[in-house]
Amino acid sequence: RDFLKTAGVGALAAGASVSLPARAEGPTIKWRLASSFPKSLDTIYGGAETLSRRVAELTDGRFEIRVFAGGELVPAFGVLDAVQQNTVECGHTASYYYYGKNKALAAETTLPFGLNTRQLTSWVMADEGMGLLREMFAEYDILNFPGGSTGAQMGGWYRREIKSLEDLKGLKIRIPGFGAEIFSRLGAVPQSLPGGEIYPSLERGAIDAAEWTVPYDDEKLGFHKVAKYYYYPGWWETGTHLVFYVNKDQWAALPPSYQAAFEVAANEAHLEMLARYDAKNPPALQRLIAGGAELRRFPDDVLLKAYETAHQVYAEEAEKNPVFKRLYDSMMAFQERSDAWWGVAELPMSNLRQAV
């Protein structure tokens, strides 16, 4: 931007004449956005702030989106209902919080052992993902937009060490979406809690373990103070996507240039969130380990059984849920093509760098 300012001054100084076209006046529009996330998590909650700031900048302040944290306007897991019912015009959330309504919604966020973040973004933006997702969300009178990504997540914090599948029996763990269903089939007792409510439950022993996202957030939430073992890989969150929801009628009432501003700002928020996490996670993980967190890989029997169970769950769901089947088949076909390419270029390259 400084460069543009300087270039502008130079052009004027050189005597170029600049005539600005008259700006079309747009209406003043004020929206409220209900987030599922707590304000303390600047990166994930910040996705909505970026959207709001950029939309305002792109419309000369005429389109204002006020952001409310999880629980402020509506419950953290009430965002889909609130946008569908037009209680708020838009929201920022993770669709797998609505797993109970339709498991297909969870596929928009992430699937255990599924696509990584880049693959999921590519499926959504450059393959058939967006078209299929828009069809699904039309049933809720909602339009979905990319809302950021955490990248691959960690496997969470455990008070007790998980040495084998046996150790999952009866384990009370906070975990959302398909991950919760798989953990339950492995003998654990999953709990559904919004981000802002996890720490107090773990601290008072109401749960034995909790997963949220990645080291930068996990450190902020303080899980390391009450559970020592930090597990990887987070096989149920291979590239978690957040999402902006917009009520269909509210969207239709926007001038096209405001719609374009919203789309541009959502895309920027999507990219920016992942870039921030990728920059902030490495030092956060180092700090956590230096502070006493014990990093552990899930045992092989857990990973193998979880993989097998995930595919059983998908097969059962695809059998009875045509919306899920369409999304799942498309994602799996994409994953097969994409993995073949990653196996040639990205993976060997990063393996080589780590090995030398």
Give the binding site for ligand PYR (CB under 6 A): 94, 150, 176, 195, 212-213, 237, 240
Q: Is 281 left (phi over 0), alpha (psi -120 to 50) or beta?
A: alpha
35 or 240: CB nearest ligand PYR: 240
In terms of CB distance, is 67 or 318 closer to ligand PYR?
A: 67
**Strands 63-68 and 90-93, sheet pairing:** unpaired
Query: Residue of minimal CB distance from ligand PYR?
Result: 213
Task: Please give the C-alpha separations between residue 314 and each of 180, 322, 339, in angstroms, as whole numbers.
Answer: 13, 12, 19
Least distance to ligand PYR, CB of residue 93, Å? 9
Nearer to ligand PYR, 89 or 218 (CB): 218
Give the shortest CB-80-to-ligand PYR separation in angstroms. Answer: 14
Which CB atom, from 173 or from 261, has the smaller least distance to ligand PYR?
173
* Smallest distance from ligand PYR to CB 79, Å: 12
Minimum CB separation of residue 96 from ligand PYR in Å reads: 8
How many angstroms separate the first and last alpha carbons of the chain? 40
Tell me the longest C-alpha to C-alpha distance in the chain.
78
Q: Which is nearer to ligand PYR, 38 or 176 (CB)?
A: 176
Q: Which is nearer to ligand PYR, 59 or 191 (CB)?
A: 191
DSSP letter at 89?
S
CB of 195 to ligand PYR, least distance (A): 6
Closest to ligand PYR by CB, 213 or 335 = 213
Count CB atoms within 10 A of the CB of residue 284.
Answer: 17
Query: How many separate helices (H) and strands (E) can be counted in the chain?
Result: 14, 11
**Pairwise CA distance, residues 224 & 233, whole Å:** 17
- How far is Cα 271 from Cα 159, in angstroms, rounded to an integer? 34
Q: What is the DSSP letter of 23?
A: P
CB of 115 to ligand PYR, least distance (A): 15
Alpha carbon distance 145, 122 (integer Å): 14
76 or 331: CB nearest ligand PYR: 76
C-alpha torsion 120→91→253→138, nearest 10: 50
- State how far the Cα of 29 lies from the Cα of 51, in Å rounded to an integer: 15
H-run or E-run covering 147: strand 142-151
**Element spanning 121, H or E:** helix 117-126
Of residues 163, 113, 205, the one with CA closest to residue 298: 163
Rank residues 94 and 120 by Cβ distance to ligand PYR and give the closer one.
94
CB of 4 to ligand PYR, least distance (A): 36
What is the nearest approach in angstroms of ligand PYR to the Cβ of residue 210?
9
What minimum distance in Å lies between the beta carbon of 256 and ligand PYR? 32
Q: Which two tokens stand for residue 205?
A: 């022993």
